[in-house]
Amino acid sequence: MNERKRLSTPDLLKGVAVILMIQVHLTELFGRQSIMDSLTGKVSLFLGGVPAAPVFMAAMGYLMSYSQKNRGRLIGRGFELIGLGLLLNIGLNLHLLIKIMAGSIQVNPWEYILGVDILFLAGLSIIILSLLKPLFKHYFWAYLLLAFGISLIHPYIPESARGSVWRYIQAFVYGKAEWSYFPLFPWLAYPLLGYAFALLEKHELINRLKNIKWMVMLITLIMVALTFNFGFETSVDLSDYYHHGWRFFLWAAAFLIFWLVALSYLNSFFKKTPVIRYLRWSGKEVTAFYIVQWLIIGNIATAIYKTQNLIELLFWFLAITTVTSLIVMAYTKIRSHRKKGII
């Protein structure tokens, strides 16, 4: 129970992240281009940026450090997420793939089937972290150095020849292919950062800093505020965001620290409120939540791509979030009954 209480904040972080992912997916796929170009669209992209995917991956790395699973089971989980990522790509693009086969839409289907979304990154990250664990052991600085090193060298990795079949494999590791949203370089840096923080959390210095975490939040808030224009502009430029370098990684790391402390306070003061409990539940079931929302949004998007106004986007957000929640709730109940042997 103490461990569950301690890890409730990462669940809240993931829950907020997946809700923010829903709204940004709607903005990108449902919203008119005029919305994307407006301040409203840019705010949506920003909220779907650092508070979403980097937070989710850092929280995953953090929680993995507390996992009691052996290396074999962790590697198996990694491959399971990779398989889910492939199935999700097919599922969310099913409507589009049908239209491609019918000849009504002329696009390359492989760029959608093999699109490097966050489940691939999560699976590969778990495998890599499980292999690094016996090598780096409890040395948090080793994980931090590797995280920064990845963000540092990423912009200097040369692109491979265009047109090669290997570009689809390469997209999972690095490169600026349009279908490579979360390649290992630079995104592996975030689960490494989360894992390092979990190890650092046990350090005597961090235990002392916990007593003044409001000051940590204030300092990081000032740092983020002073460089906010840089962080905001990078976040709303999708190419720069997906393939950022070390400067944005450091900015995102400072934001993550502020965000973590802020949400930990929120979790402490309002932990029993329905909204916070719902967000923690969403974070606990984040994989199912992420898959369901994408299956719904992806297939609807083929029919109404970039045609919706702000009011319609709000309707879609409320409707899809509600339907996703109900489906995930039903799934979790069925899973629980199966474990208990009821069904």
In order, the DSSP letters of 96-150 are HHHHHHHTSS-S-THHHHT-B-HHHHHHHHHHHHHHHHHHHTT-HHHHHHHHHHH
Q: In this model, does residue 5 exceed pLDDT 50?
A: no
Report, in angstroms and rounded to the nearest whole number, the Rg of the chain calculated over CA atoms: 20
229-244: pLDDT as tens digits: 999 999 999 999 999 9
> Cα(205)–Cα(20) distance, rounded to whole angstroms?
33
Quick one: pLDDT at residue 265? 87
Quick one: pLDDT at residue 182? 96
196-218: pLDDT as tens digits: 988 887 766 566 666 667 777 78
Q: Count of CB atoms within 10 A of residue 73's CB?
A: 12
Lowest mean pLDDT among 40-49, 166-175, 210-219: 210-219
Angstrom CA distances, 256 to 137, 190, 216, 232, stand at: 24, 10, 12, 14
Mean pLDDT of the chain: 91
Would you say the pTM of this structure is higher than 0.85? yes
